Amino acid sequence: MVDGFIVGMQILLAFVGVYQFLISVFGLTRKHKEQRVAPRKSFAILVAAHNEEQVVGALIDNLKHLNYPKELYDIFVICDNCTDGTADVVRSHGVRACIRTHPSLRGKGYAIEWMLSELWKMPRVYDAVVMFDADNLVDTDFLQHMNADLCEGKQVIQGYLDTKNPKDSWVTAAYGITYWYCNRLWQLSRRNLGMANFLGGTGMCFESRLLREMGWGATSLVEDLEFTMRCIQRGIHPVLNYEAKVFDEKPITFRASARQRLRWMQGHFHVARRFFFPLLWQSIRERNFVKFDAALYSASVYNVLLGFLLTSLLWGDYILPAKNAFVSMYEYLPAWVVIAAMGMAVIQFPAALLLERVRSWKMYMHLLTLPFFLLSWLPITCYAFFTQNNKQWSHTQHTRVIRLEDVQSKQAG
């Protein structure tokens, strides 16, 4: 009975792994070539900031020099529960600082919801809303790409997420490699298949009319994933723009990274509980593959948890000197199948670096430390499961003052 359950769970995890590998194959080529469109759409750029006085100035300077008519976009910085000089820095750069103070409703989701309600009261009506984090840097053609997609009828658009400090430590290198992998073999593959992409928390663009109709309503610890699922439920597919790049600062230390990822996983469990079964039933009833894919992704946090528990159980069983008490699926498979499965898992990350034309040999060397980062997701997810009712938002401190030209010169090198 127990052996059947273990083998059944392993088969389920293997199905998910093979499914994602098959999806990733469609990211090997880039089909979409964007047509340039004359600037027509107007944008409200919202920057979420909590105690970001060290980095927000660089982003504002970056945004003020976008390759887009200045009369077609305005910048609003949400100074959310700030206790430092963020608002003063924003004002010194000639940009509107929108002060929000709320002792209990803390976090980016609540800040965005508040800012949107303020935005709708303003006399100017914008065609779209773009959202960034205060630690970001943005490609100068970002709004050009958003304008083109909006003119094609897209309603929710996700830019290409990159890291601005991948060489700071082995942890930031792991983030960078993971982002390149996700952009190419998760996001682009789904774009090529005409499926829904997943929002990444920054570099997001929304048609204003849709936001007014839906409301934000995403206040969990992973407001981006929550809003993604709400869109897919309504038949709206977020789409990736591969050319519109956003550079995000990542934690340098493992401790800060673990704290950030714990928050993500706690929020992901909330989203899974809320959306998995409704999306799954909708996908079956409507025969909708996109909703099935979204349901599967919403439950991926449980896949990680289950993988951790099964791995711990089986390895513990093998280590104990007594006769093995449990049976593994791999005992019934020929060795070449196991080797092939491991090869498929390993090859995807170096393949992503090659496909993304990463030139830095240091990033390829960090493939050796990447497994430690990936394995650390297992205990983090397990701990998140038992603390998932903790909805307290925690701030990730950002200190790396880097300019866009610095990031671009390092990439070119």
- pLDDT given for residue 325 in this prediction: 55
Residue among 122, 237, 247 nearest 176 (CA): 247
pLDDT exceeds 90 at position 67: yes
Instruction: Give which of 77, 100, 46, 78 is closest to 211, Cα–Cα.
Output: 46
pLDDT of 331 strictly over 70: no
Residue 138 in contact with residue 123, Cβ under 8 Å? no
Residues 338-384 have pLDDT tens digits of 787 778 888 999 999 999 999 889 999 999 999 999 999 999 999 99
**Strand ordering across the sheet containing 73-80:** 96-100, 73-80, 43-49, 128-133, 204-207, 156-163, 239-248, 137-138
Q: What is the pLDDT of residue 259?
A: 93
**Contact, 211 vs 290, CB < 8 A?**
no
Query: In this predicted model, what pLDDT tens digit does every residue of 77-123 receive, in sequence order?
Result: 999 999 989 999 999 999 999 999 987 888 899 999 999 999 999 99
Whole-number pLDDT of residue 36: 81
Share of the chain above pLDDT 90, in %: 71
Q: Which domains does the chain have, with CATH numbers?
A: 2-27+272-386 (no CATH), 43-253 (3.90.550.10)
Q: What is the pLDDT of residue 389?
A: 82
The DSSP annotation for 336-375 comes to: HHHHHHHHHHHHHHHHHHHHTT---HHHHHGGGTHHHHHH
What are the helix (H) ranges across 250-334? 254-286, 289-298, 300-319
Looking at residue 30, what is its pLDDT?
Answer: 85
How does pLDDT run across 210-226, given as a tens digit for each residue? Answer: 999 999 998 888 999 99
pLDDT attached to residue 13: 84
Banded pLDDT at 326 (limits 50, 70, 90): low
- Position 174 pLDDT exceeds 90: yes
Query: What are the φ/ψ torsions at residue 67 (nearest 5 degrees)?
Result: -85, 70
Q: What is the pLDDT of residues 252-272, one digit of tens each?
A: 999 999 999 999 999 999 999
Q: What is the pTM of this model?
A: 0.90
Q: Are 283 and 291 in contact (CB under 8 A)?
A: yes
Residue 106: predicted pLDDT: 82
pLDDT for 413 beyond 60? no
Q: Taking residues 182-201, report their average pLDDT.
A: 95
- pLDDT for 11: 80
Per-residue pLDDT, 277? 96
Looking at the chain, the whole-number percentage of residues with pLDDT higher than 70 is 88
Mean predicted lDDT score pLDDT of the chain: 89
From the list 244, 59, 62, 228, the residue with the least C-alpha distance to 159 is 244
pLDDT at 246 over 70: yes
